[in-house]
Chains A and B, each alone.
Chain A
Amino acid sequence: GENVEQHPSTLSVQEGDSAVIKCTYSDSASNYFPWYKQELGKGPQLIIDIRSNVGEKKDQRIAVTLNKTAKHFSLHITETQPEDSAVYFCAPLDTGRRALTFGSGTRLQVQP
C-alpha cells in the first residue's frame, strides 16, 4: 500500500504571509495528487489536485507542485487570510487499491 508522510503537523503564519505544506509518498505508480481542506466538524473538501503529467498547477492563491522523481508534492498558499485556517490533508492515490491514502494532516492557523 501507499505510505504517506505530511509535514509540518502544525503551521502558524501571519495574515498575508505564505504557507507551504509538504507530502511524501511511496507508490511510484501513483498518478493523482490532491489536497483537501477540512473545517471543524465537516467532511474534507478538495481544494486543488495535480496529475503526474504536469509539475505545477495554480488556482488563484493556491498552487501545488509535484516532484515525481523525489516522490513528493507540496501545497503553497500565498497571501494567507484568516479563513484559510483549517486542517489540510494530502491524499495521493494508491494505485493498487485505487483509493486515496491520507496524510496525517497539517493544522494551519493564520493570525490576523
Chain B
Amino acid sequence: DGGITQSPKYLFRKEGQNVTLSCEQNLNHDAMYWYRQDPGQGLRLIYYSQIVNDFQKGDIAEGYSVSREKKESFPLTVTSAQKNPTAFYLCASSRDGTGQDTEAFFGQGTRLTVV
C-alpha cells in the first residue's frame, strides 16, 4: 500500500534530550513537510523540502532540524533548544509544490510528550 508512515505513534522524552521523528513515504513524491499541532489549534509549518538535499525553514523552525538525504525520507529532530516540544507532529508529502499538483497526503502523526 502506498502512503506516509510516521513512527513512533507516541514518544516520551526527558527534558534536555534530542529526539528524532521518522517520516517515510513510498508515493514517489518530491515534496515533504513537517507541521506541528497544539491542542485545539491549526497546523504550523516547521520545515519543508521540495527536492532531495534541499529544505527550507517554515514559521516555527527554531529548536528543530531536518535532513533530506533520500527522496522517501524526511526525519525531524526535536532538539533540547525547543522550549515547548510537547505537541502532535504531522508529516505530509505532495507530488510537487509548484501549484500544479499540490494535494498533500498526511501521516497519522507522532504525539511527543516531554516528561
Contacts and interface: CB of A to CB of B under 8 A. Distances in A.
B108 A32 contact: no
A47 B106 CA distance: 13
Given A1-B59, A31-B99, A43-B90, A100 B42 contact: no
Contacts of A100: 33, 92, 102, 104
Contacts of A45: 106
B48 interface: yes
Contact of B50 (A34, A98, A104): A98
B88 to A, nearest CB: 8
A41 B107 CA distance: 11
Interface in B86-111: 90, 92, 97-99, 102-109, 111
A20 interface: no
B64 interface: no
Interface in A37-80: 41-46, 49
Interface in B57-99: 58-59, 90, 92, 97-99
A103 B43 CA distance: 8
Contact of B97 (A31, A34, A44, A98): A98
A98 B98 CA distance: 6
23 contacts: A32-B99, A41-B109, A41-B111, A42-B108, A43-B90, A43-B109, A44-B90, A46-B104, A46-B105, A89-B42, A89-B43, A91-B104, A93-B99, A95-B99, A97-B45, A97-B56, A98-B31, A98-B99, A99-B31, A100-B102, A100-B104, A101-B45, A105-B40
Interface of B: 31, 33, 35, 40-45, 48, 50, 56, 58-59, 90, 92, 97-99, 102-109, 111
**Nearest 5 interchain pairs by C-beta:** A98-B97, A43-B106, A102-B43, A102-B42, A104-B42
Interface of A: 1, 6, 31-32, 34, 36, 41-46, 49, 89, 91, 93, 95, 97-105
